[in-house]
Structure 1
Amino acid sequence: MSSSSNKLEEVTIATQPIFTGKVISLQVDTVQLPNGKTSTREIVKHPGAVAVLAIKDGRMLLVDQYRQAMGRTELEIPAGKLEAGEDPLDAAKRELEEETGYRPRSIRRLHSFYTSPGFADEIIHLYVTEDLEEGQYAPDEDEFLHNIEVTLDEAWDLIANGRISDAKTIMAVQAWQLYHLTGKFGYDNE
């Protein structure tokens, strides 16, 4: 397999920074293609993020938040970006408590996945917890959130009517459904 992958590899010749912001940066890479020709790739750089499937008394914790890029509110699982050098597990615990007021007594990683590998390097580390205790609700100063708790059936209804439409939350609902059917949250052995 590696010999086939090597035949597909692109070699970066040059990188031109375009924009550096609070959350992302944008660069344009000039690459040499496998056939020797060159092309450009617009790349969004992101520090990575975490998301938490938190289940309390058989209900999933969701955050309702206005999303400017979408022009509307979106129901999502608690999530947030990694700070520089931050361990994803620590970030998951921090984000869950900040956004919901619950602290996980135990938590584990389900999966890590790239959100849009065609143009971005953002990776999200998805965690799950069913063991929560009261913590300190403390959203960021520019975060305005409303918390709700939903059953699995309600989550599917919210997906069907478009109130949940982001990949990380849909993936979390599917993992929760799999847990209901098999006792496992995916490829884990518990």
Structure 2
Amino acid sequence: MADSPTDKPKRKPEILARRSVARSRLFHVEEIDLRFSNGVETCYERLVGSGRGAVIIVPMQADGSVLLIREYAAGTDRYELGLPKGLVEQEEDLLAAANREIMEEIGFGANRLEILGALTVAPGYMSHTTHVILAQDLYAKRVPGDEPETIEVVPWPLQNLTKLLLCEDCTEARSIAALFMAREKLMG
């Protein structure tokens, strides 16, 4: 385990029961009855992920600019500026998924792909993990994707990351965290 600020790991609660309470095309809501090490029992609800997770890709051009995308986000009902991302398909490894996603969304593949880490969003009630992938040595290649409209590609100098954070349409936490992770990696 990476350096952790905790003195010692806590014992996880015992799962007493699980129940599926709702399911849609995208989401599975589960209730879990838990017993904590101090004897307290409680019920939690959580969104259960697919298990394969997702990738978010930081595609870097040779000039030091990152290729962002602007696409419609139904959750906020607006166009959002962020990084290419998508679910990992069945039997697909993380780097292959990342390369496929950038070919679909920005029209480039990468000769060099590197896993930088993993992110969770709201881990108190979501089991979904997004893997951050740095993509370098890009080459032009577009493959068909599942997007309902053409995605706008926006090159942005990574050195101007602070200015990007001032843009009102750049608020997606995974994109922001992944950009900082890539900047730290590239700066050595």
> Common fold, TM-score beyond 0.5?
yes
Which of residues 43, 49, 67 is equivalent to 2:46?
43
Q: Which amino acid aligns with 2:92?
A: E
Pick which of 149-158 and 113-122 moved more: 149-158
Which of residues 11, 14, 32 is equivalent to 1:11?
14
Asked if 1:102 is matched to 2:108, the reply is yes
3-state DSSP class of the match of 1:160? Answer: coil
- Counterpart mapping for 1:170-185 below 5 A: 170-179=176-185, 183-184=187-188
* 8 Å CA contact 2:116, 2:182 repeated in 1: no
TM-score, normalised with respect to structure 1: 0.85
User: Shift in Å at residue 5 of structure 1?
Assistant: 1.4
Unaligned runs of 5+ in 1: 185-190
- Counterpart mapping for 1:11-30 below 5 A: 11-30=14-33
Query: How far apart are the structure 1 equivalents of 2:77 and 2:147?
Result: 20
The residue that corresponds to 2:130 in the other structure is 124
1:162-184 CA distances to partner (integer Å, 9 max, x unpaired)? Answer: 3211122111221343246xx32
The residue that corresponds to 2:3 in the other structure is none
Closer, same or farther: CA 137–147 of 1 in aligned 2, 3 Å: farther
TM-score, normalised with respect to structure 2: 0.86
Equivalent pairs counted in the alignment come to 180
Closer, same or farther: CA 15–55 of 1 in aligned 2, 3 Å: same
Unaligned runs of 5+ in 2: 1-5
3-state DSSP class of the match of 2:145? Answer: coil
* 8 Å CA contact 2:134, 2:182 repeated in 1: no
The residue that corresponds to 1:53 in the other structure is 58
Closer, same or farther: CA 149–115 of 1 in aligned 2, 3 Å: same
The residue that corresponds to 1:158 in the other structure is 164
Which of residues 64, 74, 77 is equivalent to 2:70?
64
RMSD: 2.1
Considering Cα pairs closer than 8 Å and 6+ residues apart, tell me whether 1 or 2 has the greater RCO. Answer: 2
User: Shift in Å at residue 144 of structure 1?
Assistant: 4.6
* 8 Å CA contact 1:31, 1:38 repeated in 2: yes
3-state DSSP class of the match of 1:173? Answer: helix
